[in-house]
Structure 1
Amino acid sequence: MDKNFLTPAETVRTIMENGKRVASQPLSRTVVLSLLAGFYIAFGAELATVVSAGTADKLGQGIARLLAGSVFSLGLMLVVICGAELFTGNSLLTKTALLGEITWGKLLENWAVVLLGNFVGSLFFAWLMYRSNLWQAPLIAEQAIAIATAKTQLPFDVALVRGILCNWLVCLAVFMATAARDIPGKMLACFGPIMAFVASGFEHSIANMYFIPTGLLLAREFPGTDPSLTWSNFFIGNLLPVTLGNIIGGVVFVAFAYWFIHLRGGKVDP
């Protein structure tokens, strides 16, 4: 009887093969898939904003974060099951580069294209949500602005560490989803780690490409918004350290760790 999951060694081998395919696919395909990932993560972020609006006052901060993380996991489910290129998940391509199956230049090229595509997709989705007027529902705009403001106020080192912890979990979610061989298994693999990182308050660069621009767009409708909510604080104060942290978390604690265990020396464990 066939297993309904892959072993860790088999999962590493599958991720390595996927890395070779992703790195060799046409640029146009990578661009479209990265745009889709930006949309999908933004769907989860938007839903988390709506669900958490006013929830903490009634149910407590912990429950509000749990609910937000639970619905935010939709984003990675869409990425994994429907197919898309997510910058944070593509940290796992490092395994393929470490084995010499793709060049480091190809890896960096993929990261640059996917990061830009994720950004454009997230930003466009933020604009769509702003134009939808759904933020006019009670407390939703205030929640969106509060989320964005809190993120732009993080010290550089704090944002960096939260980025590391976040993508450690995100890449583990991708690892487990790759191991799962059916859709319910992939959904469950995405749910646990993603719920955990959101509930914990960790920082995800692609999610922040939706959260913070949405807050910035809405702030124009609400005079008196905290002055720390600016585009420069978004790019320099949050996106830069969080992106660096995401790279460290995914590359060191997942990609490198499992390369060391299963692929070191150029041989793949059976």
Structure 2
Amino acid sequence: MAYSKPDKIMEITVENGVKKTKYASLQTLILGFEAGAFIALGYLLYIRITATMTGDFAGISSLVGASVFPIGLILTLLGGGELLTGNMMAVPLARMAKKITTGKLLYNWLLVTLSNFVGAIFVAYFFGHVVGLTETAPFLEKTVSIAQHKLEVSFIQAFVSGIGCNWLVASAVWLCYGAEDMSGKILGIWFPTMSFVAIGFQHVVANMFVIPAAIFAGHFTWMEYLQNFVPVFLGNAVGGTIFIAMAYYHAYRKHEPIKKSTTIFQPMRKTAAK
């Protein structure tokens, strides 16, 4: 499997970050909807598999669920999609490289946040609520349990958990950009994504699905969800922007060579010659 070295991956990521800000608004909204729905479908698959694993299989249910969740990010990165957590790494890196403005970065994040939310809510409402995929036993109990664990933590816990999540998700995007064939990209996406799910870190777009799915089933409130959204959003932003984009930018950016000046010595040489 062919792949690029980290310094080359940084160049590729900067190019992708610039490209993302040049999409027309409608294009960004469509791709953002797709990404939000893909992540939600990955989480729905997680619930459908893990909820039925009881008894002797209960201990490995989280690992099995984590191993299928990455389908959402695979579809997003290979099929086409604009995912907020990925853009929290690629677009800031383009800004650090001075290829885009801060205004373009914030506008991109705004459009992608809104469209990811609509895509995730679509899956939560129509597939989870209308079809009933998250509202029949034992799937309802699993959905509510997951949402409750996310909502019951403190602001700082949700924030730090968000950092850990996007440190891994942004790494998955980074590895995907570095791979040059589809199989390499899938492997690069799979393991970091599986790791964050198995650990239990909080992902802002995944939460856009699972918490509203529990709300549609009559549990919790939108205000409780908002109190989770803010710290997880901020934590994901820090994880992608600082721990991947900023770290690798300063590690692999090309420094201008220092030019030695000889102007001070030239007059002395002329004087000596006389």
* TM-score, normalised with respect to structure 2: 0.89
CA distance in 2, matches of 1:185, 1:196: 17
Letter of the 2:138 counterpart: L
Pairing partner for 2:222 from 231, 237, 243? 231
CA distance in 2, matches of 1:90, 1:135: 29
Structure 1 residue 57 displacement after superposition: 4.0
Pairing partner for 1:262 from 232, 248, 252? 252
CA distance in 1, matches of 2:166, 2:202: 8
Structure 1 residue 56 displacement after superposition: 5.2
Equivalent position of 1:165 in the other structure: 164
Pairing partner for 2:3 from 5, 9, 29? 5
Equivalent position of 1:243 in the other structure: 233
The 3 A distance-change label for structure 1 pair 69 and 266 is farther
Structure 1 residue 250 displacement after superposition: 0.5
Letter of the 1:83 counterpart: G
Matching of residues 142-153 of structure 1 within 5 Å:
142-153=141-152
Letter of the 1:118 counterpart: N
Structure 1 residue 136 displacement after superposition: 5.4
Structure 1 residue 54 displacement after superposition: 3.9
> Do the aligned partners of 2:134 and 2:213 also contact (CA within 8 Å) in 1?
no
> Do the aligned partners of 1:36 and 1:85 also contact (CA within 8 Å) in 2?
yes
CA distance in 1, matches of 2:164, 2:16: 24
Question: What are structure 1's unaligned runs of at least 5 residues?
Answer: none
> Which protein shows a greater Rg?
2
Structure 1 residue 163 displacement after superposition: 0.3
CA distance in 2, matches of 1:57, 1:232: 36
Structure 1 residue 214 displacement after superposition: 0.4
> Do the aligned partners of 1:99 and 1:264 also contact (CA within 8 Å) in 2?
no
The 3 A distance-change label for structure 1 pair 48 and 76 is same
CA distance in 2, matches of 1:266, 1:162: 38
Aligned positions, number? 255
Structure 1 residue 78 displacement after superposition: 0.5
CA distance in 2, matches of 1:150, 1:57: 21
Equivalent position of 1:16 in the other structure: 14
CA distance in 1, matches of 2:202, 2:135: 26
> Do the aligned partners of 1:66 and 1:199 also contact (CA within 8 Å) in 2?
yes
Pairing partner for 2:85 from 82, 88, 102? 88
CA distance in 2, matches of 1:181, 1:264: 23
Structure 1 residue 58 displacement after superposition: 3.2
Would you say 1:67 and 2:57 are equivalent positions? no
Structure 1 residue 133 displacement after superposition: 2.3
Equivalent position of 2:38 in the other structure: 40
The 3 A distance-change label for structure 1 pair 57 and 205 is farther
Structure 1 residue 182 displacement after superposition: 1.2
